[in-house]
């Protein structure tokens, strides 16, 4: 099997892994969600019946609000009872946020079995994601390096190598920002009635940098049509977006002048020197923060 076919098989296996996670999360958590929704309905019914004719007491109101808020923090509400919170599309998005370490935190496993499966799924899925994305970055560096060679051939007599590399970084960054930030933000702004364009851009940036605050989640508007498909497409966007961030960091890390790690090394090793380039080791040229911790993807 050629490397191209192996990479294609790896991508297919990754999609199947996401489908597996979505299916099992939905199967495990949906019964618990139904019970929690049933409990919320009962609390609401008792609250309304108790105070149908009398005034509401502060203590009883606080208890009811606490039950609603507690369930909401676990991703269960009565806002849209026709669409389960652990539907396939929602579970697919949850699986993607787990293994890319975005982790919004707005939706969490309800059962002990779900929590155990989530830990096992993350333990396997996070290294799987790193393997896939680093392999794709290696493949994408071929056309990116070709662009650098083209710029060097056209501008080499006018500008220094560093200036050409910085221009190349800015060009690649601009293309990726347009494809994965500006265009998706405009699309989300049209699909999410409660979001401004700034909110949509903020969501894209916070998600793709894997900060994942969870204050904005696409597809949670009450009565939104096609929610399951919408959530699944968002999950694929997040995976591709993290890939774009890793690619940009790889391009930045390929510029020796941007490698500041030499300032903190013993023996005064100079960044970009011949000795440091020829030394066979795993080198982290740039502080990669795209998964919430530093990783080294560039094998020298």
Quote the pTM value. 0.76
Compute the distance between CA of residue 247 and CA of residue 298 in angstroms, rounded to an integer: 11
Higher-scoring residue by pLDDT: 28, 82 = 28
Q: Choose the weakest-confidence range: 212-216, 217-221, 282-286.
A: 282-286
pLDDT tens track for 104-113: 877 888 889 9
pLDDT > 70? residue 60: no
Q: How far is CA 149 from CA 44, 162, 168, 299, in A?
A: 66, 13, 10, 21
Q: What is the pLDDT of residue 228?
A: 85
* CB within 8 Å of 151: residues ≥ 6 apart: 164, 167, 168, 171
CATH number 1.10.287.70 given to 3-260: yes
Confidence of residue 287 (pLDDT cuts 50, 70, 90): very low
Give the Cα separation of 25 and 95 in Å (integer): 8
Q: SS3 for the chain, per residue?
A: CCHHHHHHHHHHHHHHHHHHHHHHHHHHHHHHHHHHHHHHHHHHHHHHHHCCCCCCCHHHHHHHHHHHHHHHHCCCCCCCCCCCCCCHHHHHHHHHHHHCCCCCCCCCCCCHHHHHHHHHHHHHHHHHHHHHHHHHHHHHHHHHHHHHHHHHHHHCCCCCHHHHHHHHHHHHHHHHHHHHHHHHHHHHHHHCCCCCHHHHHHHHHHHHCCCCCCCCCCCCCCCCCCHHHHHHHHHHHHHHHHHHHHHHHHHHHCCHHHCCHHHHCHHHCCCCCHHHHHCCCECCCCCCCCCCCCCCCCEC
pLDDT, residue 209, reads 94
Residue whose C-alpha is closest to residue 242's, from 181, 152, 167, 175: 181
Q: What average pLDDT does this structure show over 136-142?
A: 95
Task: Please check the confidence at residue 271 and state whether its pLDDT lies above 50.
Answer: no
Give the C-alpha separation, 293 to 287, whole Å.
Answer: 9
Higher pLDDT, residue 44 or 61: 44
Greater pLDDT, 287 or 143? 143
What are the structural domain ranges in the chain?
A: 3-260
């Amino acid at each position: 099997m050629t490397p191209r076919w192996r990479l294609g098989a790896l991508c297919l296996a990754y999609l199947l892994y996401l489908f597996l996670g979505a299916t099992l999360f939905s199967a495990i958590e949906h019964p618990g969600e139904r019970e929690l929704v049933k409990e919320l309905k009962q609390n609401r019914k008792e609250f309304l019946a108790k105070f149908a004719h009398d005034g509401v007491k502060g203590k009883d109101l606080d208890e009811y609000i606490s039950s609603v808020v507690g369930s909401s923090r676990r991703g269960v509400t009565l806002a849209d009872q026709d669409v389960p919170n652990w539907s396939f599309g929602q579970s697919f998005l949850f699986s993607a946020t787990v293994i890319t370490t975005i982790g919004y935190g707005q939706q969490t496993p309800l059962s002990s079995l779900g929590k155990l499966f989530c830990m096992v799924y993350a333990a396997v899925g996070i290294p799987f994601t790193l393997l896939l994305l680093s392999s794709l970055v290696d493949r994408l560096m071929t056309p990116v390096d070709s662009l650098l060679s083209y710029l060097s051939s056209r501008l080499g007599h006018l500008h220094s190598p560093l200036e050409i590399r910085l221009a190349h970084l800015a060009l690649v960054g601009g293309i990726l920002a347009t494809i994965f930030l500006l265009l998706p933000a405009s699309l989300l702004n049209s699909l999410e009635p409660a979001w401004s364009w700034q909110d949509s851009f903020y969501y894209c940036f916070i998600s793709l940098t894997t900060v994942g605050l969870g204050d904005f989640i696409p597809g949670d508007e009450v009565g939104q049509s096609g929610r399951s498909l919408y959530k699944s497409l968002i999950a694929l966007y997040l995976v591709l977006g993290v890939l774009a961030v890793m690619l940009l960091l790889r391009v930045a890390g390929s510029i020796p002048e941007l490698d500041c790690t030499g300032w903190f090394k013993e023996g005064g090793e100079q960044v970009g020197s011949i000795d440091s380039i020829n030394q066979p080791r795993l080198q982290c040229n740039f502080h990669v923060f795209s998964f919430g911790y530093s990783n080294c993807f560039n094998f020298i």
